[in-house]
Structures are given as structure tokens and as C-alpha cells.
Chain A
Amino acid sequence: MDKNRVVVGMSGGVDSSVTAYLLKQQGYDVIGVTMQVWQDDDPERQRLEGGCCSLYAVDDARRVAQMLDIPYYVMNFKDVFRRKVIDYFIDEYTKGRTPNPCLACNRYIKFEELMRRAHAIGAYYIATGHYAKIEYDEHLRRFILKRSIDDKKDQSYVLYTFTQYQLEHTLMPLGSYTKTEVREIARKIGLTVADKPDSQEICFVEDDDYGRFLAEQRPDAAKEGYFVDTAGHVLGKHKGIAFYTIGQRKGLGLSLGKPMYVVDVDAVNNVIVLGEQDDVFDDSLIAGDLNFIPFDRLDKPMEVTAKIRYNAKEVPAIVYPLDDGAKVKVVFDRPQRAVTPGQAVVFYQGDVVVGGGIIERAGRKPFCNDI
């Protein structure tokens, strides 16, 4: 493999375009690749303008590649994306959990499959437009992941699954820039995508309407059931557990005289548990599917700041190893709202990403054990 050759995952957006530009400036032999991951068979719906995988992204990315004078390819990732991201997304929802498909996409599609295909064409590195920094720590003799200098754009949360091998073979030049600076660079070099809005929604779900997507993909996931309160009293009918997530208040279709929140999704009994504001708060959680970056495994309690979803604020917490390190218990220094199974909890120490895992359950006792 050629250490000077890098495959840049190009979405046609500002971030990946500037990434390709910066690496070319640094003298790398840059190859642009757009991953074709999802294609709606219905042409009417191919206008999907979601994040990185919109079909129109290919046209934008191709123009950018031409402008930067780099080779550019569209690679087919449809099979692996279907298996590792969409099926996972649907399975998790049907289990009553709330998945983060971007995390799965990074982990399996970009840093496994794209990396494999990059190596296949001789590239030592892949690069992405993520806002996070990869460094080599001489003292630890390991690669470490740090948050971006731009707090508002920092994407290190979705990158905690990085292995040492992946870090060694990944470049993320944008971690040292602010979004404003990146847009500035884009404008300076005449990229027409400079003002394209940031993508937010899940790329394969139109209008962010998960419920409809799930009902279409797996009709049995939309099986009606009951809302109950924390004492087990039936409050009404729900449309199917996939339509609800922990902490949700709107769209329940009930009028109960006081604000009620989803506090638990019980897939086994097809029940949604509603509670009051206080019931949505937890002081701890249990997480599995762990990954740590500065070390291989956690063998003693560790003080961190923890983040329980992409947009959550970090809070001080202590992480305790459980089950010989296979799981952790995370105890927050103050209760957290809507601890949601299926989402990732990510740990930091200062700017360094220590690692993270997938939330299995909140630390409190489950409601309605006796149903």
C-alpha cells in the first residue's frame, strides 16, 4: 500500500470536498470515492436530499473531483449498507430500542468496508470530513481520538468505535478547523457547494419519518398495543412500539390531563410505559458493546465526562467495569433525562475520547416487571 495515497469519501458536501482539497494541497495522491449506499426503487422518491447518500450527491461530488483534478469513482455499497445499517436500524426499533444508524455507518461502512476497498486500490489511508482529530500519543504508543476544535461541529461522538488499525489508516484534516473556516476555504477555492446546508437527517428515511419507513420495511413492526402508566394501568392504544422513543411527549395521541412522557419501551409485551417528568430521569445506565481507544479494556473505575446521545451535553460520571469488563455501569453526578437503550454513551477525558458503548438499559429498576 502506498502511504501517499488516500481515498476520500466524498458526499458532494462542503466538508468532504474541503477534505479532498486540503489533502491534495498537502501533497497526497487523492482519490475521490462516493459510496452508493441506498437507492429507492421508486423514482418519485429518489429525490431524497438527506445526508451523505443522496443520489444527487454523486453529481456534486463528481464536479468537485473534476475541479480538484483528482480521480473519482462511485462504488457500490448497497448490499453491505442494507445488512449493516438498514437491517440493524429496523431490528433495533423492533426490539424497542432507538438505534443510531450514523454510528453503524461509520463503524461498518466507512471504517471497515470503504477502508478495505481503499486498500484494494493501493491506498494506505482513507479520509473523511469528520470534525475530530486523530493523533499518535508517543507516551501511550497508541493512536488517540480527540474532539474537534469546533465545539459546535464536533463529531467525535459517532467515532468512538475506532480501532487502532482504523485510526492508523485514517486522516481527518478538518478536526483542526472550525466550520466557518472550512466554508471560507470552500468559497476561496470556488466550490459551489460552499453554502450547502449541513445534512442532519438519516439519509435513508424520507422526511425523518421513521414510523412510516419502518411500517413499510417491516409491517409487523407496526403492531398496535397499549400505553400503560408506571403502575401498569392501561391508558390507551399505541400504533406500534417503533413509533416511540424514550422521553417523547408529543404525538402520543392521548389526552391525560397532564404532560406524560415515554419512560420505557417494552418490546416483549408490546407495551409503551408512560410516566411523569421525573420518571424520565436516571442517575445511571448499563452499556455493552464497548470500545476503548487509549487502552484495550477498562479494569478499574474511571472518572469521565459522558454523553448519552449526539446532541446531549456531557456530564461528569464514573464508569465502573462490570462482568469482567464486558459491560460498564455509568453513574452520573446528576440524573440524566431520557437515557435511551440503543443509543451510544461516549466517554471523554478533557479533549480525548476514551471510548464508549451501546446503552442497554437505564440503571433504575424496570417498570411494570409484573405485566
Chain B
Amino acid sequence: MDRKIYMDHAATTYVKPEVLDEMLPYFTDKFGNPSSIYFYGREAKEAIEMAREKVAAAIGAEPSEIYFTSGGTESDNWAIKGAAFAGKKKGNHIITSAIEHHAVLHTCQYLEKLGFEITYLPVDQYGLINPDDVRRTITDKTLLISIMTANNEIGTIEPISEIGKIAREQGVYFHTDAVQAIGSMDIDVKSLNVDMLSLSGHKFYGPKGIGSLYIKKGVKIDQFMHGGAQERNRRASTENVPGIIGLGKAIELATATMPQRREHLTRLRDRLIKGIMDKIPFVRLNGHPTERLPGNANLSFEFIEGESMLLSLDLKGVAASSGSACTSGSLDPSHVLLAIGLPHEIAHGSLRLTLGDDNTEEDVDYVIEILPDIVERLRQMSPLFAEREGELKNV
């Protein structure tokens, strides 16, 4: 395996050297506990506050509205459970969608067991949520609406600006999981009317194990991590200082270079999608044709099992995914693909290629070159394909 091509940036990214450089001193020389009063502690604390400013600036928030967490999953858990528990005297209803990340879906399912009522809104064939559905579903018991900014599997960008407006009008908290969106699209929490927003460092060339929850000033949610007085008494646990520094640097870089990134990724993505669809029959693009993340290509190949396709690509040096990394261990059909109406057998034959800053046209062309053979070989083994080919010949 000579060539190695990484096309799974929605799963995780590498840490950019500039980011790592900023982090390193905080493992060794500047190792202090930010809660300590002496020099070492102050130094770490100041660095954290600088990072907080950078995160705030990237999403149009105030630094005091940014809380560091262990990642996207914790941010989602905190936002949803926190709002549910804090609001349980007022109501018990939460609105989310059928295509959220499992960090949201499983949290909601847990709350259902505790007696909360959850509405899982359907999506259309492109994975879009209809804001009117949100409006219609709100009751006087509704505590929270949690709708993702952009989907991790199919890349569809949701109309969160409209949903935020509805939530604000109705006086319901609005949380959005923006884990996939940061660095790929403009996010301004004020103009989007977002009350809470989750983000995660390792999706935009920062380190793993660090994320953040934006909580708009005045939003009342229960504490999730209990213990010390860190994060202004709202999130206990000694701060992951190097992680926080890395997150700050990474989000600063990601937002500063966004126009070039969007242009680069969109060009490669369109080349990839067109190249594959031109060369291979019986393929469909999942997600919205235009309202999609610049780096996301998600395609379904009829008559094929995604697992065999992924392994064949891996053996040719291409790292891809069939859905999200969290579910690829199980290879049960993706809940997102089922929600957009794909039948099981087609959902099984899906491939997600997510591009990143370092991908090149050559990478894309290599995939376009090797994929047809893989698909052809797998289809030759499929009795269904033989039948379909037979039908076509008879026409």
C-alpha cells in the first residue's frame, strides 16, 4: 500500500503543526493548574482566557458565554439534559430531528425514559428539516429545540436561522450541534438566534478531547459536571489546558482561512461527485445538491455492500467511511440514510468521502480512478445486479 489518502475529515482531522506548537509548552513548562494563585496557575489561566476569546470571536459570542468541555458529545449532553432538568417545572417536551448525531439522539432517548416527551422531526429526501414542522410542533410544554447546523453523514445544511427565529418568537431555547459546521460555514450565534451551540476541536484541525458549549447569557441550564468551581462554577473539572489552547488556535485558523477552504473543498467535492457519477451507473448522491457542507460527498451505490467497498478502498490506501465513524463498527444501516427515505439495501451500499485542506485534485482523481473497478467487481458478485443487467439487456 504505497499511496495513502485520507478522505474522512468528518470523522476527525489531524492537528495542524501551528496548533500543536502552541499547545506544547502547556504540557511541560507551563503546566500549572489554572485554579492556582501563583505564577504557574495565572499563566495557564490567562492562556485559557485568550483561547476563550478566540472561540467567542469565531462564532460571534461573548467570551463569558463560552464553556470548555471534553468535546461535542459532552456539549450536546450538557445542553440537552441541562435544559431539560432546569425546565422540568415549566414543561417536558423537546423537539429534535431524526437525523441528529447519536450524542443528541441517545441523550433524548435517555430523557424519554425519565418521562420527557421527545418529538423527532422527519426530514425530506435531501435531509432538510421544514421550519414549519418545528413551529407546528411547539407546545406550551416545549423546553428546547435541538437541531444540528449541518449533518455529519450527508452534509445537508439545515435552515437553523429560520428555526432560531421561530424558537425566539415562541420563547423556547434553541440548541444546535455545529460540530461539523465550524470552519466550513459562517456561524454567528446572535444573528442565528441560537441559545446554545456545541463544537468540537478535532473536526477543524485541533486536538481530540476538547470542545465547547456556547450558552447565551441568561439561558438557564443545570450543571452537568459537578465538582470544583472551574468555568465560572458551571463546569467542574481541572481544565484541559493544552486542549483549550489548541482549540483556540485551531478555531482562529479555521475561521481566518474559511473562504479559501470553502473554495478549495467545494471544487474538489464537485469534481469528486461528478467524476464518480459520470463513471459509475446506478449511483445517487445523498444530501442536498447545493445546501451541503463543502467537503462532503455521500453516495449510494446500488447492489453493493458498503463494508466490502470500504475495505477494498482501505486496501488501496483510501480512508473513507460509510456513515459516521461512530456507527461504522456496527454497520447497521445509517439512521440518517433511512430517514431520507433510502431503502435498507441501498443505505447499506453507501460511501461517505469527506475532504480536507490537504486533499488535492490528484487524490480525487485517484479515487475516481480506482472506485469503478471496485464497484464493478462487487456488482459482479451480486445476484441482484445480474438480474438487473439481464432486465436491461432484454429491453
Listed in ascending order, the chain A residues whose CB lies under 8 Å from chain B are 31, 71, 73-76, 116-117, 119-122
Contacts and interface: CB of A to CB of B under 8 A. Distances in A.
Given A74-B329, A76-B331, A122 B312 contact: yes
B381 interface: yes
Interface string B316-352: 0000000000000111100000000000000000000
B252 interface: no
Contacts of B237: none
Nearest to A123: B315
A215 B376 CA distance: 46
B329 A120 contact: no
Contacts of B315: 31, 71, 121-122
Contacts of B308: 117, 120-121
Nearest to A116: B381
A126 to B, nearest CB: 14
B373 to A, nearest CB: 10
A119 B381 CA distance: 8
A116 B382 CA distance: 10
7 contacts: A71-B314, A75-B331, A116-B381, A120-B308, A120-B378, A121-B308, A121-B312
B216 to A, nearest CB: 38
A31 B311 CA distance: 10
Contacts of B305: 120
A181 B312 CA distance: 35
Contacts of B332: 76
CB-based closest 8 A-B pairs: A120-B308, A76-B331, A121-B311, A121-B312, A120-B378, A73-B311, A121-B308, A120-B381
Contacts of B135: none
Contacts, number: 29
Contacts of A73: 311
B307 interface: yes
Q: Is the interface of B mostly helix, strand, loop or mixed?
A: helix
B4 interface: no
A76 B381 contact: no
A76 B314 contact: no
Nearest to A76: B331
A121 B373 CA distance: 12
B217 to A, nearest CB: 41
Nearest to B377: A122
Interface in B103-122: none
A121 B378 CA distance: 8
B98 to A, nearest CB: 23
Q: By CB atoms of chain B within 10 A, which of A75, A116, A119, A120 has the most?
A: A120
A120 B380 CA distance: 10
A245 B271 CA distance: 65
Contacts of A121: 308, 311-312, 315
Interface of B: 305, 307-308, 311-312, 314-315, 329-332, 377-378, 381
A116 B380 CA distance: 12
B331 A120 contact: no
Contacts of A119: 381
B387 to A, nearest CB: 17
A76 B307 contact: yes
Nearest to A75: B307
Contacts of B381: 116, 119-120
A76 B311 contact: no
Nearest to A74: B329
Given A120-B381, A121-B315, 8 more contacts: A71-B315, A75-B307, A75-B331, A117-B307, A120-B378, A121-B308, A121-B312, A122-B377
Contacts of A74: 329
Contacts of A120: 305, 308, 311-312, 377-378, 381
B192 to A, nearest CB: 39
Nearest to B313: A121
A307 B312 CA distance: 42
A148 to B, nearest CB: 31
Contacts of B311: 73, 120-121
Contacts of A122: 312, 315, 377
Contacts of A76: 307, 330-332
Contacts of B312: 120-122
A122 B311 CA distance: 10
A86 B207 CA distance: 44
Nearest to B314: A71
Contacts of A71: 314-315
Nearest to A119: B381
Nearest to A33: B311
Contacts of B330: 76
Contacts of A75: 307, 331
A121 B332 CA distance: 19
A73 B329 CA distance: 10
A89 B147 CA distance: 45
Nearest to A31: B315
B347 to A, nearest CB: 14
Nearest to B307: A75
B302 to A, nearest CB: 15
B65 to A, nearest CB: 38
A122 B377 CA distance: 8
A121 B374 CA distance: 8
A216 B329 CA distance: 27
A129 B314 CA distance: 25
A120 B383 CA distance: 13
A19 B162 CA distance: 60
A166 to B, nearest CB: 16
A103 B296 CA distance: 45
Nearest to B331: A76
A117 B315 CA distance: 14
A238 B250 CA distance: 70
A76 B314 CA distance: 17
Contacts of A117: 307-308
A122 B308 CA distance: 9
A82 to B, nearest CB: 13
A121 B314 CA distance: 10
A309 B378 CA distance: 39
Q: By CB atoms of chain B within 10 A, which of A31, A74, A117, A121 has the most?
A: A121
Contacts of B314: 71
A122 B376 CA distance: 12
Contacts of B331: 75-76
Contacts of B329: 74
A148 B228 CA distance: 65
A70 to B, nearest CB: 11
A56 to B, nearest CB: 15
A74 B315 CA distance: 14
Contacts of A31: 315
A117 B381 CA distance: 10
B375 to A, nearest CB: 11
A121 B310 CA distance: 9
A31 B316 CA distance: 13
Contacts of B378: 120
B75 to A, nearest CB: 26
